[in-house]
Chains A and B, each alone.
Chain A
Amino acid sequence: EPEVTQTPSHQVTQMGQEVILRCVPISNHLYFYWYRQILGQKVEFLVSFYNNEISEKSEIFDDQFSVERPDGSNFTLKIRSTKLEDSAMYFCASSDQGFQPQHFGDGTRLSIL
C-alpha cells in the first residue's frame, strides 16, 4: 500500500537554527498537510497546500514557518529560527482529490536544545 514517508525520523537542532523537515506524499495525491503534536497534547493542524500554494493555515503557522514543494515528489516544512516550544512530533499527510481521508507519515520528532 502506498505510504507517506518522512525524513529524518528524529532531528535535534539548536535554538535559533533553521530546520527543514521533508516528506514524500503518496504519488497521486494532490493535497498536502503538516500537523504537529507536542508531547501530551492533541495533534494540531498547521497548514494545507494545494496547487503549489497554501490553501489554509492555522494561527500556529506564523512567519517563522514556510512550506514548499520543490519538485514533483517532495513536500517540505521549514522553520526559520527554531524556538524551544517548536519541539514536537511533526506529521506530514496527503490526500487525493476528494480531500479525505488524509494519510499520515510516521512523523519527525523535532527536539530543540
Chain B
Amino acid sequence: DQQVKQNSPSLSVQEGRISILNCDYTNSMFDYFLWYKKYPAEGPTFLISISSIKDKNEDGRFTVFLNKSAKHLSLHIVPSQPGDSAVYFCAAVGFGNEKLTFGTGTRLTIIP
C-alpha cells in the first residue's frame, strides 16, 4: 500500500534555516491531509492540517502547502529549531472516512 509516500527517509538542516518535508499521494479520493511529529517512545503529535479546498495553511513556524494537481504536499518549518528534530509523518484521509493513511516518515535532524 503506497498511497502516501515520503521519499526522503532523512533530512538534515542547519538551525535557523528552513526545513522542507515532502509528501506525495496517489489516491485522488483523499481530501484532508495532516502532518504529525513523533519523538522516540512517544505517539505521533498532531502539527498542522489542510483541507483539499485550500492550497496553504499556516500556523506559527509551520506552513503546509497542497498542490492537488501534482498530488503533492509539503511542510515548511521556518526557522528550524533543535526541538524540531523528530520523525515527521504525512497522513491523508478521504471524505467520509475515518482512517488515516500514513507515509513512512522523514527523520528531520536540526544541526545546531
User: Using a CB–CB distance below 8 Å, which chain A residues touch chain B?
Assistant: 4, 6, 31, 33, 35, 41-45, 48, 50, 55-56, 58, 91, 93, 99-107
Contact = CB atoms under 8 A, between A and B. Distances in A.
A107 B39 CA distance: 12
A40 B32 CA distance: 25
Contact of A43 (B44, B49, B98): B44
B102 A31 contact: no
Nearest to A46: B99
Contact of B44 (A6, A41, A104): A104
Contacts of A102: 46, 100
Interface in B55-112: 89, 91, 93, 97-105
Output the residue of A31, A43, A55, A105 with the most chain B CB within 10 A: A43
Given A100-B34, A100-B49, A101-B49, A45 B43 contact: no
Given A31-B98, A43-B89, 11 more contacts: A33-B99, A42-B105, A55-B98, A56-B99, A91-B44, A99-B98, A101-B46, A104-B43, A104-B44, A104-B46, A106-B43
